[in-house]
Copies of this chain bind each other. A is one copy, B any other.
Amino acid sequence: MTTDLVAAVDIGGTKIAGALVDGTGDLLHRVQLPTPAGESADRVMAALTEVLGGLTRHASWSRVAAVGIGSAGPVDARTGTVSPVNIPGWRDFPLVEGVRATTGELPVTLVGDGAAIAAGEHWRGAARGRSDVLCMVVSTGVGGGLITDGRLRPGPTGNAGHIGHISVDFNGDLCPCGGRGCVERIASGTNIARYALAAGWRPADPEGDTTAAGVAVAARDGHPLALEAFDRSARALAAGIAATATLIEIETVVIGGGVSQSGEVLFAPLRRALREYATLPFVRDLEVVPAQLGTDAGLVGAAAACWSDPGTFLAVGAAGN
């Protein structure tokens, strides 16, 4: 029997998705449920077990060689546990053990959702063929993962590249993570909208969209407060990206997520700000490109994270294999 598939799982605060992924990154069979994020640890695990059951019952299950999990973080790949900020019921939750109850003796690889997205974009998306890359998601939060020397670097616990929670304003506002002036606290969609509203921006239609998507529409129409909100977000992102490049020597930044859908409203001030913050010769040529995989990145990447080299099943960030 050929074992040429990976069972990939993407666990977020909104949905739990699973898929059987083949050796080229195609999703053969897909299952998805909403995450009962506010409920007990057991209820959330029951939803995941239902998603896994949808995979194990598929005719191709016998071809599955490994299970790859990308989970909202923080995760701990060493212990196989997770404590996702947006799933309060799971604190040091034994996720790998819980998955094994359904998937049996298959090797399981656990990484953070940022690392999974980086692995996905590197395998099949905008980071393909590049060796040193930061992949980011800018949406309600800000996350990321790293490719170094042409490979996923999830870090010992699976959380490396967690750019949303580095400080670019050390005297700035407190962040829910406990830190101060974090990139996410300034640059996320939630905070773009918060900043614009606090500065006095309102949508043209009083019933209109007051999220970052609404601010983006106004910015495209040239509304100064909306432009300012995006500019501030872009500068915080640029400072964080430049810091990452200066510390790790990345050559490319791939940006996906809802806010990046705003296109040039975000990317134009971001490229401008990068010239201000990425000044040393070895970071000056840093390239910014949009992500390519959309919402599938997490699943494709959870599968990719199971390979140490393409085609070889070996756990990366090897949790309890």
Given contact pairs A162-B246, A177-B280, enumerate 4 new A-B contacts (beta carbons under 8 Å). A74-B282, A131-B156, A166-B243, A167-B277
B281 touches A170 (CB 8 A): no
Pick out which of these stretches binds chain B: A8-16, A38-46, A234-242.
A234-242
B76 touches A277 (CB 8 A): no
A50-78 residues with Cβ-Cβ distance < 8 A to B are: 74, 76
> Would you give the 0/1 interface string for A144-170, flagging 1 where the beta carbon is closer than 8 Å to chain B?
001010000101110111110111111
In-complex Cβ contact of A279 among B146, B157, B179, B249 (8 A): B179
A308 → chain B, closest Cβ, in Å? 13
**What are 30 A-B pairs with beta-carbon distances under 8 A?**
A74-B281, A74-B282, A83-B281, A146-B247, A155-B248, A155-B249, A155-B282, A156-B251, A157-B282, A159-B249, A159-B282, A161-B247, A162-B247, A163-B246, A165-B279, A165-B280, A166-B242, A166-B246, A166-B247, A167-B239, A167-B242, A167-B243, A168-B169, A169-B169, A170-B235, A170-B236, A170-B239, A170-B277, A178-B276, A181-B239
**Chain A: residues with CB nearer than 8 A to chain B?**
74, 76, 83, 131-132, 146, 148, 153, 155-157, 159-163, 165-171, 177-181, 235-236, 238-239, 242-244, 246-249, 251, 276-282
In-complex Cβ contact of A243 among B153, B238, B243 (8 A): B243
B242 touches A160 (CB 8 A): no
Question: A44–B165 Cα gap in the complex (Å)?
Answer: 43
Question: A161–B280 Cα gap in the complex (Å)?
Answer: 13
Residues of B close to A180: CB separation below 8 A: 239, 276-277
Copies of this chain present in the complex amount to 2
Residues of B close to A165: CB separation below 8 A: 246, 279-280
A271 → chain B, closest Cβ, in Å? 16
Instruction: Please give me the residue from chain B that is nearest to A236 by CB atom.
Output: B170
A319 → chain B, closest Cβ, in Å? 13
In-complex Cβ contact of A247 among B177, B238, B244, B282 (8 A): B244
Question: A160–B179 Cα gap in the complex (Å)?
Answer: 25
Question: A180–B238 Cα gap in the complex (Å)?
Answer: 11
Residues of B close to A162: CB separation below 8 A: 246-247, 280
Residues of B close to A159: CB separation below 8 A: 246, 249, 280, 282
A117 → chain B, closest Cβ, in Å? 15
Question: A166–B183 Cα gap in the complex (Å)?
Answer: 13
